[in-house]
Amino acid sequence: MKILITGGAGFIGSHVVRLFVNKYPNYQIYNLDKLTYAGNLENLTDIEHKENYSFLKGDITDAAYLDEIFGNYKFDAVIHLAAESHVDRSIADPLAFVQTNVIGTVNLLLAVKKHWADDLEKHLFYHISTDEVYGSLGEDGLFTEETPYDPRSPYSASKASSDHFVRAWYHTYGLPVKISNCSNNYGPNHFPEKLIPLAINNIKNERPVPVYGKGENVRDWLYVLDHARAIDVIFHNGKVGDTYNIGGINEWKNLDLIELLCDVMDEKLGREKGHSRKLITFVKDRAGHDLRYAIDSSKLVNELGWKPSVTFEEGLSKTVDWYLENNEWLEHVTSGNYTHYYEEQYTNR
């Protein structure tokens, strides 16, 4: 089977690519990525020479490029992760999110409609989405697959739009599709603009740790490898046309999470307990900041037998260890040096 994974040089995509390349040596995995600021081939150095892995540098907003690669490689399935993914950036530059998340997704759907037309039913388009499409919860309740869409940020509006287009292709053209909506991921290779890696980097360097508003917003955190495992299970066993919610059953208020992280890092760095908490700095709140996300993933658990395998204590400890051990990765990402890796490793071959 030939699988096109988009966004495979990013945070979650790199874990999905690695899992598929290692677990399924008979599959040919093609990683299509534009290598934006968030795409980093240093995330995949351990598998880049495997025979069943290929990297394709390209932009999903480029319809002619997609037409060319779908014609050349004859993919059997697509797992679509490529996206602009950071809410704060979407507030500053919404159009970039419309371009990649909406137009880019529709371009992919047009390419599959054209290239899979003769035997559409033998193919699969699996779209990776977010719980943010459901909006914001109050103190109680969980997002289910039936929760009406209510996106509130430019990021979540663009992801909701892409979900609708994927479903439209299922209903209108009969394209076999699957969609999953996941909660907040954390773990190795997370770009240090997002809360957990940003806080780890700042605590390590004794810099202020910005907490938006009063730190009362709640997120449901899932270790990234558990998300990759869920994607594997849904890709192979999920029902065509269905949606699956994926969550960690692991809700944390931002301030509680940051305090815990400070304590974990004080212990690992041999600092006095309470030292890093002094770095916590309350800053202006995010515009339109969703109060609470929490996912009911019982459909995935009951129908497909998936459940999170890593506890938050374990996952956070592993994540902190990874960032402390991978100074070079962090230094390259924060300095921008990682962008040279593609030129060095790929263009001179």
Catalytic residues: 131-132, 155
Cβ distance to ligand NAD smaller for residue 60 or 249: 60
Whose tokens are 């998340």? That residue is 101
Select the binding partner of residue 219 from ligand DAU, ligand NAD, none (C-beta < 5 to 8 A, by kind).
ligand DAU
**One of 29, 157, 182, 258 touching ligand NAD (CB under 6 A):** 182
Three-class DSSP labels, 239-257: CCCCEEEECCCCEEEHHHH
**One of 38, 87, 108, 218 touching ligand NAD (CB under 6 A):** 38
User: What CA–CA distance (Å, rounded) separates 158 from 133?
Assistant: 9
Positions 110 through 149 that interact with ligand NAD (CB under 6 A): 128, 130
In angstroms, give the least distance from the CB of 14 to ligand NAD. Answer: 8
Q: Which stretch binds ligand DAU (CB under 6 A): 24-32, 137-145, 205-213, 259-267?
A: 205-213
**One of 13, 151, 154, 248 touching ligand NAD (CB under 6 A):** 13
Give backbone dihedrals phi and psi of 114, rounded to 5 degrees, phi first: -75, -50
Contact 291, 138 (CB under 8 A): yes
In angstroms, give the least distance from the CB of 266 to ligand NAD. Answer: 26
Select the binding partner of residue 191 from ligand NAD, ligand DAU, none (C-beta < 5 to 8 A, by kind).
ligand NAD
Positions 91 through 130 that interact with ligand DAU (CB under 6 A): 130
Neighbours of 224 (CB within 10 A): 22
User: What CA–CA distance (Å, rounded) separates 123 from 117?
Assistant: 10
Cβ distance to ligand NAD smaller for residue 127 or 279: 127
b/e per residue, 57-93, with b = 16+ CB within 10 A? bbbbbebebbeebbeebebebbbbbbbbbbbebbeee
Radius of gyration of the chain (CA): 20
Does the footprint of ligand NAD cover residue 248 (CB under 6 A)? no
Select the binding partner of residue 90 from ligand NAD, ligand DAU, none (C-beta < 5 to 8 A, by kind).
none
- List CB contacts of 298: < 8 A, sequence separation 6 or more: none
* Residue ranges that bind ligand NAD, judged by CB under 6 A: 6-7, 9-13, 33-36, 38-39, 59-61, 81-85, 100, 104, 128, 130, 159, 182, 184-185, 191
